[in-house]
Chains A and B, each alone.
Chain A
Amino acid sequence: MPPRLRVAPEQLRNVRPQYVCWQCRHASLASATTPAPPIEQTVQATSPIARYPPSQPPSHKPAEFRKTQLHRQYQSLLRSSPLIVIFQHNNIKATEWAGIRRELTAALNKVDQDVAKEGNNAYTGSAIKLSVVQTGIFTSALRVVEFWEPKFEPESPAIHPSDPKTRSSASVEDTKGKVNDPIFTHGLSRHAWWQAKNKSKTARHGLEPLLSGPLSLLTMPEVSPQHLKAALSILAPSPQSPAPKRRANPGYYEKPVQDGLQKLMLLGARVEGKAFDVEGARWVGSIEGGLSGLRAQLVAMLSGLGAQLTNTLEAASRNLYITVESRRGMLEEEQKGKGGGSNGNDETAAEKAAEKAA
């Protein structure tokens, strides 16, 4: 049997005595400890509070709806792509879409590689998308983009809601909780919708008749005629931009791809905010060498002009130089024939010749 350890009860007890709230035990002894309000608040009321955080301004339609988000997406698509080609798709099946997109991506990749060889490493082709849009929502988004000038940098209001100096009775924008407050300058705001709706009654953007039925868009982040030509040669072949040959690209002639392409109709294009028809779209695609090609043509023309000008101006002095040189050569030969002479004589002869020529 192990020896019994003697333990003092004082050692088992906690060293620090437990805190006991006597005030709580005796409710009758409790006293209210609400702090007194600061003196400023007794003199004037608290400042008004902004109803909406700056990242979540109120929208015309409920923000959680799919159509609202699509509207926002289409607006951003329209603002970020200067070149949009509009197609109608008549009951194209998923397999056919997959085939068409595959061929399109392959063709654009090829253009990207060609362009990269020339030194342009933008790889625009990878950002070009063929997407189906909801026509009604796209129409509304296009209207907002065309007819509503957003103030992207709103003037900061003179009275700021979170400024402690602002009185509660002050009328501050954004604190009223109204959707149609003009302070909200985003594309989904009621203000934007209202302005676009009003202006569209009189103004026209030119694409209205195209916006009905099933639409799909080919969107390009920059106006690149090479890429457009490659895309049109796949999606809507024509004599200007012929389809790839069967031997070069057998995948293009597979049945689903061809079936799908027969049902895809090129309707028009929107280039830099202007409406183009089918011929116009093809014309943009037919610009040789793209924008850089156009620039190169212009530079060549201007530099050619400059060279001509300098040639004309130089001509007189060059003629003089040639005459003098030939005369000098003649004189030197004469001197040699005489059997010697000094350089001084040569120079004077050359000077005389120059005077003659002048």
Chain B
Amino acid sequence: MLTKYLTAVSTAFSPFNARSGKTARNFLALLPPNARSRMAIDVKMFARADVDKPASLSLKFKDGKEMKLDLEKLKLKDIQVEVDRHSRLLKRQEELAG
């Protein structure tokens, strides 16, 4: 996954939700070790009682685009595809400009 063009990641989820919690956690695990020096990462975890509270994952890109991903429907692969689609665009623009 291309994480170079991300500037902000904010997510709220319950780790005890087998679907959205897993997806959100695995997305966070994909970010590189020095991610926090390059992007603002905001993680909020719900308690066990709020398992069914809707989880959210919103991303911001360098060009200002904001992406809100539905963790109930999308799985990790789908999120990767979505992020990569926009990141490739930014990469191409960067290559053409410089």
Contact = CB atoms under 8 A, between A and B. Distances in A.
A265 B43 contact: yes
Contacts of A276: 48
Contacts, number: 56
A279 B46 CA distance: 9
B31 interface: yes
Interface of B: 15-18, 21-22, 25-26, 28-29, 31-33, 35-36, 41, 43, 45, 47-48
Given A263-B36, A279-B47, A280-B48, A210 B29 contact: no
B85 to A, nearest CB: 23
Q: Which of B32, B33, B35, B41: most chain A Cβ within 10 A? A: B33
B29 A88 contact: yes
Shortest 5 CB-CB contacts between residues of A and residues of B: A277-B48, A209-B18, A91-B33, A267-B15, A90-B29
A278 B50 CA distance: 12
B31 to A, nearest CB: 6
Interface string A197-241: 000000000001110111000000000000000000000000000
Contacts of A277: 15-16, 47-48
Nearest to A96: B33
A213 B29 contact: yes
6 contacts: A91-B29, A209-B17, A209-B21, A210-B16, A214-B29, A263-B33
A312 B23 CA distance: 64
Contacts of A175: none
A213 B43 contact: no
A280 B28 CA distance: 23
B36 A212 contact: no
B45 A265 contact: yes
A88 B25 contact: yes
A71 to B, nearest CB: 22
A212 B16 contact: no
A90 B31 contact: yes
A212 B76 CA distance: 12
A214 to B, nearest CB: 5
Q: Which of B17, B31, B45: most chain A Cβ within 10 A? A: B45
A280 B17 CA distance: 16
Contacts of B26: 212-213
A44 interface: no
A58 interface: no
Nearest to A268: B15
Interface string A251-295: 000000001001101011000000011111000000000000000
A213 B22 CA distance: 8
A269 to B, nearest CB: 11
A93 B32 CA distance: 10
Contacts of A90: 28-29, 31
B16 A268 contact: yes
B55 to A, nearest CB: 12
A88 B15 CA distance: 10
A179 interface: no
B88 to A, nearest CB: 23
A268 B17 CA distance: 13
Contacts of A210: 15-16
A70 interface: no
Given A88-B25, A265-B43, A209 B31 contact: no
Contacts of A214: 29
A241 B35 CA distance: 27
